[in-house]
Structure 1
Amino acid sequence: MDVDVIQTLVSSLGFPITMVGACGLFIWKMYQAQLNDKERLYTELGKANAANEKFAEIISTYTVKLESIESKVDKIQDKVGA
Structure 2
Amino acid sequence: MDLDSIQTLISTLGFPIVMVIALGWFIWKLWTKSQEQNEIRENKLYEVIGNAQVQNDALSRTNSEFVSVLNAYKSDLDTIKNDVAEIKSVTKTNN
TM-score, L = length of structure 1? 0.91
Q: Which amino acid aligns with 2:72?
A: K
- Structure 1 runs (4+) deviating above 3 angstroms are none
Equivalent residues in 2 for 1:43-54, closer than 5 Å: 43-54=43-54
Match of 1:4 in 2: 4
Q: Which residue of 2 aligns with 1:18?
A: 18
Q: Which runs of 5+ in 1 are unaligned?
A: none
Give, as a single letter, the amino acid of the residue that structure 1 aligns with 2:27: I
Q: Which residue of 2 aligns with 1:70?
A: 70
Q: Give the stretch that moved more between structures: 39-48 or 18-27.
A: 39-48
TM-score norm. by structure 2 comes to 0.80
CA distance in 2, matches of 1:3, 1:64: 72
| Structure 2 gaps, min length 5 | 83-95
Q: CA RMSD in A?
A: 1.1
